[in-house]
Amino acid sequence: MLVTRRSLAELLVTFHSPHTARTAAATLEEDFSRSVDTQIKEAKIGSVDQLVRFSLGVTGADLHFGLEHKTTLRFGAKEREGNCIEYAHLFATVFNRAAERKQVAARAYVVHSDARVLGRKLPIPGLDDHDWVLVVPTAAGAQRLFVDPTLYDFGLDWDISRSVSGDVRKP
């Protein structure tokens, strides 16, 4: 049986309601803020898809996954460990900042969901829930995007729409 990384991820992890959406709350230290602004200025971003890919790149370059630290939403230029909460908030903050500067009509929101592994809710901190990102384009008829910067950093596809059950509303 041929199984792709994406289909394997969908079998392993699914996200269930309640889904709690909120605005991004990351704080960028001054040196990192300047670096992100320079990267935004130099990037060719003209679509929501390009903006998602740009934000995934910035997030993945600043974080590597780990659970052995205290969660903080303060980010600097030095790469550090991050969990799904930190990945989601950094991604959404970079996305919204770049969207404003490049005039791309979309907003990103951090979403907190119950997580299931192989269909079961695990009573293990870090595996019983998950944070990911809802991207909402404001153009008429445009599709919402479900983006998981944590799974993307693991090499899995960023579109997790088939892994999310239940309705997700922006705040």
Question: pLDDT digit string (tens) for 31-75?
Answer: 999 999 999 999 999 999 999 999 999 999 999 999 889 999 999
CB 28 within 8 A of CB 36: yes
Q: Is residue 128 part of a domain?
A: yes
Decide: 16 and 59 in contact? Cβ < 8 Å: no
144-154 tens-digit pLDDT: 888 889 988 88
Which range of residues forms the domain containing residue 58? 5-158
Residue 104 within any structural domain of the chain: yes
Q: Are 53 and 149 in contact (CB under 8 A)?
A: no
Look at residue 163 and tell me if it is in a domain: no
Q: pTM value? A: 0.83
The pLDDT, as a whole number, for residue 156 is 75
DSSP classification of residue 142: P
Distance in angstroms (rounded) separating the CA atoms of residues 145 and 51: 12
Residue 84 in domain: yes
User: What's the total number of domains in the chain?
Assistant: 1
